[in-house]
Amino acid sequence: LEKLKNTLKTGNEKLGIPILDPFKADRLAINVNEDEIKLNANLSTCNANGLSGYDVINGDLSMAKDIVLSLHLSWPLITANTKYDMKGKVDNFELFGNGDIKLSAQNFVLNTVVTFLWNGSLNSYLKIKNINLKLSLQKLDFQATGLFNDEETSAILSALISDMAPELIGNEMITNKIVELITKKTDDFLATKTILEIIEMLV
């Protein structure tokens, strides 16, 4: 986990990890098409800092019938800013806007236990069996312009998001969606590499 901090700063071509701290991207596209949420957003001039600045509260790996990875990490401060252009819908509520977003998150904590299926062979492929995820956030300062193309509305919603974020991030529905996304993305990667190949990439 301590070595990973340096990887986040320098990237790793073998693992396909770009430089993530500081994270910079000229353009990012976000497309969400769920029953409750539909969103098309384009982000530009994206910047984020602090992803490698986590403190390790606990980290453990056990390999028995299943492989169990336990991670408990805390980020004192993460900051980000971007330009955005979005259009979408939450339930029947229209969303749109074009402007700037700045945010700072204080004391974000991730506590997770990930269980992987394997058959005991290093030549086998891993698959996620279960993810137990708990997230918490002490404080969020969120500032956006251009929401609904109205600056007064933007200020009100920015304050509301800042106020509600610490409670929402621990919401079971939200964590379940995050687990669903992580499981799919991770399983897609794990299907391409044996355990031995993953170990060789890490050492």
- The span from the CA of 151 to the CA of 119, in Å, is 57
DSSP 193: S
Indicate the pTM of the whole model. Answer: 0.85
Highest mean pLDDT among 15-19, 104-108, 193-197: 104-108
Domains in the chain with CATH codes: 1-201 (3.15.10.30)
Predicted pLDDT at 2? 81
How many Cβ atoms sit within 10 Å of the Cβ of residue 45? 13
Predicted pLDDT at 203? 65
DSSP 87: E
Taking only the tens place, the pLDDT of each residue in 120-169 is: 888 999 999 999 999 999 999 999 999 999 999 999 999 999 999 999 99
Residue tagged 């204080």 (tokens)? 106
Lowest model confidence (mean pLDDT) among 27-41, 44-58, 105-119, 134-148: 27-41
Query: Which residues is 40 bridged to in the sheet?
Result: 31, 87
The strand pair at 67-90 and 93-117 is best described as antiparallel
Among residues 20, 82, 7, the alpha carbon closest in space to that of 47 is found at: 82
Among residues 29, 78, 71, 70, the alpha carbon closest in space to that of 51 is found at: 78
Taking only the tens place, the pLDDT of each residue in 155-191 is: 999 999 999 999 999 899 889 989 998 999 899 989 9
Query: What stretches of the chain adopt beta strand conformation (E)?
Result: 23-33, 37-49, 55-63, 67-90, 93-117, 127-144
